[in-house]
């Protein structure tokens, strides 16, 4: 894996025509929307992007990314290191109306003025690849299993019958 930084903007049609491959890193602290979702991140995301043209003449980007993120545990909210990876296939479109012409295997990526913001592409894929829920193992979590169980009042082991909502009717019936 290359240790160079991925360029922020490229001309993807030219890269696809030459079947170029970009490998490198994206600094996680340069991705503000990811920080909104996960909190501040440090380190780098490793990225491989292969530009090409498929057999039907569609320009595409095959990509792979990998990053280690510090995500908050849903129990104790302490950071938990998680590996996030994604393999994706993007179809380049010059207009949003052309996105519907792509096959289901391709996700559309909008190329405006023959320029593509790669940082946005990487950030989108990272956000889409985040795990839904993150938990420490119970033995490592700062919140114990006992703290997660809802408790009743002291001595709440006795079963008490709920009040009958129709009890007032029996008192009315006796007043005749």
Note the pLDDT tens digit of each residue in 71-120.
888 878 788 899 999 999 999 998 888 888 888 889 999 999 899 999 99
Phi, psi for 100 (deg, rounded to 5): -70, -15
Residue 169 pLDDT greater than 90, yes or no:
no
What is the average per-residue pLDDT within 9-30?
94
* pLDDT-derived band at 165, boundaries 50, 70, 90: confident
What is the average per-residue pLDDT within 51-77?
90
Give the contacts of 65 (CB within 8 A, at least 6 positions apart). Answer: 45, 46, 47, 48, 85, 86, 122, 125, 126, 129
Estimate to the nearest angstrom the gap between the alpha carbon of 100 and the chain centroid: 24
Q: Report the alpha-carbon angle 144-149-151, nearest 5.
A: 125
Work out the mean pLDDT of the chain and round it to a whole number. Answer: 85
Looking at residue 33, its pLDDT comes to 94
Distance CA 7, CA 78 (A): 33
Assess contact for 109 and 90: CB atoms under 8 A.
yes
Looking at residue 24, its pLDDT comes to 94
Give the contacts of 112 (CB within 8 A, at least 6 positions apart). Answer: 94
Q: Give Cα separations from 168 to 163, 164, 172, 175 (angstroms).
A: 11, 9, 6, 11
Asked whether the whole model's pTM tops 0.75, one would answer no
């Amino acid at each position: 894996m290359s240790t160079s930084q991925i360029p922020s903007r490229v001309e993807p049609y030219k890269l696809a025509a030459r079947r170029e491959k970009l490998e490198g890193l994206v600094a996680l602290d340069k991705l503000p929307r990811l920080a909104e979702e996960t909190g501040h991140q440090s380190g780098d995301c490793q990225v491989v992007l292969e530009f090409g043209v498929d057999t039907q003449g569609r320009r595409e980007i095959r990509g792979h990314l990998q990053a280690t993120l510090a995500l908050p545990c849903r129990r104790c909210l302490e950071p938990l290191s998680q590996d996030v990876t994604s393999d994706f296939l993007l179809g380049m479109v010059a207009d949003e109306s052309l996105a519907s012409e792509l096959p289901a295997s391709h996700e559309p990526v909008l190329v405006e003025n023959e320029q593509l913001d790669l940082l946005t592409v990487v950030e989108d894929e990272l956000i889409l690849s985040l795990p839904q829920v993150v938990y420490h193992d119970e033995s490592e979590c700062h919140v114990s299993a006992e703290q997660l169980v809802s408790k009743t009042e002291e001595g709440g082991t006795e079963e008490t019958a709920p009040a009958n909502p129709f009890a007032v009717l029996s008192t009315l019936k006796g007043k005749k």
